[in-house]
Amino acid sequence: MPQPLTHPDRLLPADSGVRRIARSLLESVQGLPILSPHGHVDAAVIEQNTPFPDPAALLVSPDHYVTRLIHASGVPLGRLRTSADTEPNPREVWREFCKAWPLFDGTASGHWLRDQFQFVFGLSQLPSPESSDLLYDEISAKLQEETFRPRQLFKDFNIEVLATTDDPLDMLESHQALADDPTFHGRVLPTFRPDAYLNIAHPDWAGNVERLIAAAGDGGTGYSAYLTALENRRRYFIDHGAVSADHGVMTPATLKLDAADAARLFDRARSGQAGPRERDAFEAHMLYQMARMSVEDGLVMTIHPGSFRNHHTPTFEAFGADTGHDIPVAVNYTEAIRPLLQDFGTAKDFHLVLFTLDETVFSRELAPLAGFYPSVYLGAPWWFLDAPDAMLRFRSAVTESAGFSRFSGFIDDTRAFCSIPARHEASRRVEASFLARLVAEHRIDEERAFEIMIDTVDTSPRRAFKL
């Protein structure tokens, strides 16, 4: 009988006493469903229930966590991803991945993949040059089975809620079809993500704005039609089940402009005349406007700042966005977010979930903000920080001043559908480990730890994301 690829105590603390507590905490939430209020799975994949094409397309090529580290080891991206010039053979991509497998030791990606190999695909060996073709064939065969269709996996993964991330003009047909389908029991919710309509520096901004106003501006033109169109499209999303609007920004700067100034900047931007300061001011103002709309329509507002997108232009030009070279920068929230919080920080039912790629704001800014403003929730450690040690650093940094109640729950933020259970499982193991330490250090009662465990895994995301 083959050795299992994973250990039942993986990610739990080494100390046997602490581990025992952590195990109990983990067991106590084992039956709870997955709530995934922020991610990047395509709703059409679930709706159309198409089989996944092949191991490379499922597990390697689209996952920038995976391709980036193989690229760093010297393998050209063209051997892993499709570009205008290249269309790598899936079996060859898989071979590159298997050869590169040792690179992933100790990484979050490596952990998630191993969990998938064990629990989704039931593999009995790890990737290696020797096992490559065998594993490819084994997974490929599985992918043809009925039980590996997206809808069955959705059910087997015990997903209750899965939020997607969508363009404001998306008609959300797949979401509608799923909601209308009496045979599908999960909730697949759209998320309003208007970056490409707010960020003037985006190459398609002017065109996007044009299309937006034409589609939903109630016949108007100019700034006020732009606001109306955004409001209308948010309403459309809400009508299709959306609970949140997400904002990926370089900085979380916010600014309140009066309508005339905003309109003037908008017009200058549309005619290409706005300088960098005007663009910054307008974008900060629009982040403020998004909060205003959230206060009015109830969509939870989430902010993901501080990623320098597409750091390496030649790679971007060949392979497009989201190909592994978005690099974080330092972030400051306290002064940047203040104009927004001055006006909406205590607004009734307004929920604002703040994320960061810059750990320094955990204890310095985020916990203090979430520990005062009823609207502010702590976003889970995200992207490069979505890993056991980093999640423990987050917990250690925020809990002592903000407690557990201000947490908005784990988000998997993933395009990789089959990694969802592994990511949530890892998060639960880390939460159990942290709580177990506090129990062992007599900092919280064991009984309360069990309540907090359920709150963290289940109640927090339901509360913060209004699920």
Near a copy of itself in 311-330, by CB under 8 A: 311-315, 324-330
Of 100 and 242, the one with the shorter C-beta distance to a copy of itself is 100
Question: Which member of 74, 182, 272, 276 binds a copy of itself (CB under 8 A)?
Answer: 74
Question: Which member of 211, 309, 393, 415 binds a copy of itself (CB under 8 A)?
Answer: 393
Q: Shortest distance, CB of residue 193 to a copy of itself, whole angstroms?
A: 22
Unique residue bearing structure tokens 């309508």: 259
Q: Shortest distance, CB of residue 182 to a copy of itself, whole angstroms?
A: 37
**240 in Cβ contact with 270 (< 8 Å):** no
Q: In 396-432, which positions are buried (b, 16+ CB within 10 angstroms) versus exposed (e)?
A: ebbbeebebebbbbbbbbbbbbbbbbbbbbbbbbbbb
Which residues 6+ apart lie within 8 Å of 433 measured at CB? 11, 12, 13, 18, 22, 388, 392
Of 156 and 389, the one with the shorter C-beta distance to a copy of itself is 389
Of 70 and 299, the one with the shorter C-beta distance to a copy of itself is 70
Strand partners, 377: 353
Of 43 and 337, the one with the shorter C-beta distance to a copy of itself is 337
Q: Which two three-digit tokens encode residue 120? A: 């989704």
Of 226 and 355, the one with the shorter C-beta distance to a copy of itself is 355
Of 124 and 405, the one with the shorter C-beta distance to a copy of itself is 405
In 3-state terms, what secondary structure has residue 23? helix
Q: Shortest distance, CB of residue 332 to a copy of itself, whole angstroms?
A: 6
In the region spanning residues 94 to 133, those forming contacts with a copy of itself, defined by CB under 8 A, are 102-108, 110-111
Residue 231 and residue 210: Cα distance in Å, rounded?
15
In the region spanning residues 290 to 309, those forming contacts with a copy of itself, defined by CB under 8 A, are 308
Question: Which member of 172, 245, 341, 354 binds a copy of itself (CB under 8 A)?
Answer: 341
DSSP designation for 321: S
* CA-closest candidate to residue 12, choices 72, 21, 198, 195: 21
Question: Which member of 35, 36, 54, 68 binds a copy of itself (CB under 8 A)?
Answer: 68
Q: Shortest distance, CB of residue 211 to a copy of itself, whole angstroms?
A: 32
**395 in Cβ contact with 342 (< 8 Å):** no
In the region spanning residues 358 to 377, those forming contacts with a copy of itself, defined by CB under 8 A, are 358-360, 363-365, 367-374, 376
How many residues appear in the chain?
467
Q: Shortest distance, CB of residue 277 to a copy of itself, whole angstroms?
A: 18
Unique residue bearing structure tokens 């760093």: 72
* CA-closest candidate to residue 2, choices 114, 123, 139: 123
In the region spanning residues 38 to 57, those forming contacts with a copy of itself, defined by CB under 8 A, are none
Q: Which two three-digit tokens encode residue 218? A: 């109630």
**263 in Cβ contact with 257 (< 8 Å):** no
Question: Which member of 268, 405, 415, 454 binds a copy of itself (CB under 8 A)?
Answer: 405
Of 187 and 406, the one with the shorter C-beta distance to a copy of itself is 406
Q: With contacts defined by CB under 8 A, name the span among 134-142, 147-155, 235-243, 342-350 that binds a copy of itself.
A: 342-350
In the region spanning residues 253 to 282, those forming contacts with a copy of itself, defined by CB under 8 A, are none
Q: Shortest distance, CB of residue 139 to a copy of itself, whole angstroms?
A: 21
Q: Shortest distance, CB of residue 381 to a copy of itself, whole angstroms?
A: 10
Q: Shortest distance, CB of residue 405 to a copy of itself, whole angstroms?
A: 5
> Alpha carbon of 440 to those of 3, 8, 437, 443, 451: distances in Å?
32, 21, 5, 8, 16
Of 52 and 434, the one with the shorter C-beta distance to a copy of itself is 434
Binding of a copy of itself by 437 (CB under 8 A):
yes
DSSP designation for 148: G
Question: Which member of 38, 40, 71, 424 binds a copy of itself (CB under 8 A)?
Answer: 71
Q: Which two three-digit tokens encode residue 382? A: 């995200």
CA–chain centroid gap for 421, Å, is: 14
CA–chain centroid gap for 363, Å, is: 22
Question: Which member of 179, 215, 440, 454 binds a copy of itself (CB under 8 A)?
Answer: 440
In the region spanning residues 442 to 461, those forming contacts with a copy of itself, defined by CB under 8 A, are 442-444, 448, 451-452
Query: What are the DSSP calls for 154-222, one per residue?
Result: HHHTTEEEEE--B-TT---HHHHHHHH-TT--SEEE--B--HHHH-TTSTTHHHHHHHHHHHHSTT--H
Query: What are the DSSP calls for 416-440, one per residue?
Result: -GGGHHHHHHHHHHHHHHHHHHHHH
In the region spanning residues 12 to 31, those forming contacts with a copy of itself, defined by CB under 8 A, are 12-18
Of 64 and 193, the one with the shorter C-beta distance to a copy of itself is 64
In the region spanning residues 165 to 204, those forming contacts with a copy of itself, defined by CB under 8 A, are none
Residue 320 and residue 95: Cα distance in Å, rounded?
23
Residue 64 and residue 100: Cα distance in Å, rounded?
14
Q: Shortest distance, CB of residue 12 to a copy of itself, whole angstroms?
A: 7
Q: Shortest distance, CB of residue 10 to a copy of itself, whole angstroms?
A: 4
Binding residues for a copy of itself, total number by CB under 8 A? 91
Q: Shortest distance, CB of residue 442 to a copy of itself, whole angstroms?
A: 4
Question: Which member of 194, 252, 388, 461 binds a copy of itself (CB under 8 A)?
Answer: 388
